[in-house]
Amino acid sequence: MEPENGGVVRRRLQKTESAEMRWVVPGGANEDDEIESSDDGGSDTPAAASGSRGGGCSDEDDGYEEDEMLRQRLVRTGPRADSFDVEALDVPGVYRHQEFTLGSCIVLTLQTLGVVFGDVGTSPLYTFDVMFNNYRITAKEDVLGALSLVIYTLILIPFLKYTLIVLWGNDDGEGGTFALYSLICRNAKASLLPNQLPSDTRISSFNLKVPSVELERSLKIKERLETSSMLKKLLLMLVLFGTSMVIADGVVTPAMSVMSAVNGLKVGISSVNEGEVVMITAAFLIVLFSLQRFGTSKVGLAVGPALFVWFCCLAGIGIYNLRIYGSEVFRAFNPVYIYYYFERNPTEAWMSLGGCLLCATGSEAMFADLCYFSVKSVQLTFVFLVLPCLLLGYLGQAAFLMENLDKSQQIFFLSIPSEAFWPVVFIATLAALIASRAMTTAIFSTIKQATALGCFPRLKIIHTSRKFMGQIYIPVMNWFLLVSCLAFVAVFGSINEIGNAYGTAELGVMMMTTVLVTIIMLLIWQVNIVIVLCFLTLFLGLELFFFSSVLGSAADGSWVLLVFAAVLYLVMYIWNYGTKLKYETEVKQKLSMDLLMQLGCNLGTVRAPGIGLLYNELVRGVPAIFGHFLTTLPAMHSMIIFVCIKWVPVPVVPQNERFLFRRVCPKNYHMFRCIARYGYKDVRKENTQAFEQRLIESLEKFIRREAQERSLESDHNDETDSEEEIASSSSRVLVGPNGSIYSLGVPLAEPGGTDNSALGSSMSFDGSSLDNELSFVHKAKESGVVYLLGHGDIRARKESFFLKKLVINYFYAFLRRNCRRGIATLSVPHTRLMQVAMQYMV
């Protein structure tokens, strides 16, 4: 029977105990080995999970484990109370993505128009023009077949795939390619950067409701992803390819939308030629990208109403044409006309598929811009406003075209009533500018997500809204997109050629989204395998069919976009490859704990009053750059905190979950490790004083909790016999780097009869000790905080392959020299900054 007080203590400590078991070698393990073993011992299987929930094992299991201990000469301890896990679990409230009521969703319906649906809303300006540029109209059935293709493309891709399925694959409200990737990495260790800790998944933003159906298949896929480096690389390559196509899409969208709107001038003014259209388009693009820096929050008041007027114009013009030219076009809802369309002229019908896909442009932007709104508001807006207006617009154009078979270009502007022509041209131009701006905003969001996950060079990011964290502006990317857009407009000068490139970019992103959502269905949603196969077969097969069409017209302009996307892909892949090599090298060359123990608590130098914040990228161990500081500086600060700024794949990390602490070496060394965790939507450039204040407060909180745990365990040990004391102690023991034993949580006796004096002063903890340590922290804080930055560069070894030398020594080095330095992103004051450079050979 368990003693009453012991049960109380165990219940009080339950929330701070990890369910993970670990193996340690008495006298031979170091701190990093202990951390690594805990990662491998997590409850990833149902058996392990049930064992941890049950709180014990059967007698046979115990006997088997004892035999294994004797054979391997290892000591198996109880649940590990890692200070990182304790810190992560001690959260009084739980962060949630904002929930929206039905009333607020209706209000957001109008606001989503300007940001989310501008791209898909302007597609009627050019869809039929590009389609019939490749297909000669000879009969009314040709128009009905093309219209039927457009109708079912709208229903299958933007409505069924994105609105009803893909939008639910958001990462706590965030959409886009990297949001899908981070969702997968969070549920399986699929990231190539080995800097994830088990405690990262305990951030409250990580909460996700996972159904229990098809759990066995989900676990098999998870295990396969985690153990296969080839699958990890393939997954990353797919994500990088999709991201490069998103950026390429952001180049083509402004060029296509604005030029198609400006083309209306050729209908109203016969003297306007193609060259003048190109010049006017270039002027509009310059104005558009110049206004981008003001942010969504500053110009958003006029965006929603303008797009609402535009959709009303589409519906109104469609209804007008249906009344004037008849309602025969409603027959196009019968999909048999698609068959007739291909039967009459298979080759031209296949070539026109690239133009047909343009009616679904903006579907990916609709998902990428999800961060500003809720899923329900986007769904309501599309189903009850956007889709009906688009269908009426296309039906009206087809009705006009069936009575005017010879007018297959500029169909939208020719179908406008003469009395409303110029107002509609003005609204169309405004809508095209809004659509272009929305796509650029989506690219900014994607770039920031890629940067946060180590897949894109660091760039300056400006947050344009105090209220909405996701509204950002990236100056370098903005002007890069402008130059690229102007180049596309100047080189091609025709919406037909740009349209082919547009379809290529859209399809590249769509196919990657289909593959990633399929993985999420299997791994996270755990959907029935039949439904998953139907989703993959239908949409990937449909998109590959469209893709074959746009590749057939690659010579008309698509090849330029493919080359552009390939360059972007190489930049992202090289950056990720170099970052991974640099991190792995730093992990291999970190200082051993035995060396620090030999140096003593003064670290072989003079300890001056103050706090030194040493920034590094390691989440475990002491970085090699610290040795350079010891040998370079005449003195070292009395308190050292190794700070690792770590991006975790969630949108936002709450402030009370920001810092994780643990000790490095015994207490008299006054050394700590701190991981400052930020989501990819967080603002990292904080006020220096506020950052220091929160960091010190979190450190004091950690020290107090550590003392409370030791006090609780000490009280419990006083009330139990010596046998229970030893058993309880052995479950909380850590084996020190030099063979001594100490604990993260409690002062315990060493198992196996080792003398308690081996625990040293680091194990004694009482009220005066707590007060002394807190006083030491305050005095160090008053003496000043100094930031220690280590710049580590990598170079390929002489015996490396030529390609590796080229990539690391030239391409990656060029990107590192020209990207935004870490000191700029950290907002470190120069008066309190010390830097040391170090070069690694890889």
User: HEC states along 462-483?
Assistant: EECCCCCCCCEECHHHHHHHHH
- 646 pLDDT band (50/70/90 cuts)? confident
Output 541 or 365, whichever has higher pLDDT: 541
The mean pLDDT of 493-507, rounded to a whole number, is 83
CB-CB contact of 448 with 477 (8 Å) = no
Give residue 525's pLDDT band: very low, low, confident or very high (50, 70, 90).
confident
Report whether pLDDT(679) > 80.
no
pLDDT over 60 (residue 89) = no
d(CA 245, CA 252): 10
Query: How many other CB atoms are there within 10 angstroms of residue 108's CB atom?
Result: 19
Q: Over 683-710, what HEC string results?
A: CCCCCHHHHHHHHHHHHHHHHHHHHHHH
Instruction: Decide: 95 and 749 in contact? Cβ < 8 Å.
Output: no
Burial of 388 (0-12, 13-18, 19+ CB in 10 A): middle
390-399, 439-448, 496-505 — most confident range: 390-399
Span 153-169, mean pLDDT?
A: 93
Query: pLDDT digits over 751-789, tens only?
Result: 333 333 333 333 344 567 888 889 999 999 998 898 888
When pLDDT is cut at 50, 70 and 90, the band that residue 183 belongs to is confident
Q: How confident is the model at residue 371 (pLDDT cuts 50, 70, 90)?
A: low
pLDDT at 303 over 60: yes
* Predicted pLDDT of residue 726: 39
Which one has a higher pLDDT value, 633 or 767?
A: 633
Cα-Cα-Cα-Cα dihedral of 620, 621, 625, 631, to 10°? 160
Overall average pLDDT of the 184-200 stretch: 66
Q: What is the largest CA-CA distance in the chain?
A: 102
- Asked if pLDDT for residue 536 goes beyond 90, the answer is yes
DSSP state letters, 142-160:
HHHHHHHHHHHHHIIIIII
Among 356-365, 469-478, 772-781, which stretch is predicted with the lowest mean pLDDT?
469-478
pLDDT in tens, 47-74: 333 333 333 444 444 444 444 444 444 3
Write down the pLDDT at residue 528: 87
Distance CA 352, CA 276 (A): 28
Does 619 score more than 80 pLDDT? no
User: What pLDDT is attached to residue 311?
Assistant: 93
- Whether the pLDDT of residue 304 is over 60: the answer is yes
H/E stretch holding 833 reads: strand 833-841
Q: What is the DSSP string of 34-89?
A: HHHHHHHTS--SHHHHHHHHHTS--HHHHHHHHHHHHHHT-EEESS---HHHHHHH
pLDDT at 835: 78
How much is the pLDDT for 823? 56
In angstroms, the Cα distances linking 303 to 285, 290, 364, 601 are 17, 17, 20, 62
Q: Using DSSP, state whether 809 is helix, strand or coil.
A: helix
Confidence grade of residue 678 (pLDDT, cut at 50, 70, 90) = confident
pLDDT tens for each residue of 705-758: 888 888 887 766 665 544 444 344 433 443 333 333 334 443 333 333 333 333
pLDDT at 824: 57
Task: List the end-to-end C-alpha distance of the chain, in Å, as a whole number.
Answer: 58
Element (H, E) at 115: helix 102-116
Report pLDDT for 149.
95
In the predicted model, is pLDDT for residue 241 greater than 50? yes
473 forms beta bridges with: 462
Structure tokens at 527: 């959907």
Query: SS3 for 23?
Result: strand
**Domains in the chain: boundaries:** 109-580, 599-708+780-841
Per-residue pLDDT averaged across 566-586, rounded? Answer: 90
Average pLDDT estimate for 254-268: 89
Nearest to 83 by CA among 775, 760, 739, 707: 707
What pLDDT band is residue 598 in, cutting at 50, 70 and 90?
confident
Q: Which of 243-257, 562-576, 737-751 has the lowest mean pLDDT?
A: 737-751
Q: Is the pLDDT of residue 198 over 60?
A: no
The DSSP code sequence of 587-651 is HHTPBPHHHHHHHTTTTTSEEEEEEEEEEES-SSSB-THHHHHHHHSSEEEEEEEEEEEEE-SSS
Position 518 scores a pLDDT of 93
In sequence order, what are the residues at sequence separation of 6 or more whose Cβ sits closer than 8 angstroms to the Cβ of residue 319?
Answer: 392, 396
pLDDT at 109: 61
Location of structure tokens 């319906």: 109
| Per-residue pLDDT, 537 | 95
Mean of per-residue pLDDT scores for the chain? 76
Q: How confident is the model at residue 511 (pLDDT cuts 50, 70, 90)?
A: very high
Q: What is the pLDDT of residue 196?
A: 53
Angstrom distances, CA of residue 36 to CA of 40, 616, 672: 7, 19, 18
pLDDT band for position 155 (cuts 50, 70, 90): very high
**Averaged pLDDT, 2-18:** 36
**With bands split at pLDDT 50, 70 and 90, how would you rate the model's confidence at 827?**
low
Tally Cβ neighbours within 10 Å of residue 397. 26
pLDDT of residue 201: 54
Q: Which whole-number Å values give the CA distances from 106 to 100, 111, 112, 668, in the listed order?
A: 10, 9, 10, 60
| Overall average pLDDT of the 175-186 stretch | 84
pTM: 0.73
| Sequential DSSP letters for 86-112 | HHHH--SS---PPP--HHHHHHHHHHH
What are 201-231's pLDDT values in tens digits? Answer: 555 555 444 445 567 777 888 888 888 888 8
Tokens matching residue 546: 């469209």
Mean pLDDT for 592-602 is 86
Report the CATH number of the 109-580 domain: 1.20.1740
pLDDT band at 244 (very low <50, low <70, confident <90, very high): very high
What was the pLDDT predicted at 434?
A: 82
